[in-house]
Amino acid sequence: MKSLSDINNFHSLKSIPRNRRSAKPALPTTAILNLYMARNERDRLVKERIRLFKRKNQLEIRLKEIEGEMDESLKNSQKMAKEMRGKPVKELEDKKSKGGKLSSMILGY
């Protein structure tokens, strides 16, 4: 399902109307107001850039942690598979014939 963030140009900075165009003649105070509004927008964008930079760093750190966890899990599963393959088949058949429960299961892929 699409969310608002998936809509093209929804968060595009170019889609934000910047200058209010009007048929009225420009007053001398309009330049000051435009300067004030531009400064506010610049400050907002600088703060947003800092937030995005911090978020990017957090995501990269978390991705490295997840990759480490995945590598560790892969090593553990390969180690367990090697141990299970190393058991002789006769030992498993003896447990089966005695009515004992098998504690390990071998999966063939």
84-98: pLDDT as tens digits: 887 655 555 555 555
pLDDT at 10 over 80: no
Contacts of 52 (CB under 8 A, 6+ apart): none
The pair of three-digit structure tokens given for residue 84, joined into one six-digit string: 């299970």
* Whole-number Å distance between alpha carbons of 50 and 44: 10
pTM for the full predicted model: 0.49
Phi-psi bin for 19: left (phi > 0), alpha (psi -120 to 50), beta? beta
Question: Model confidence over 33-80: pLDDT tens digits?
Answer: 889 999 999 999 999 999 999 999 999 999 999 999 999 999 999 888
pLDDT at residue 11 greater than cutoff 90: no
% of the chain surpassing 70 pLDDT:
56
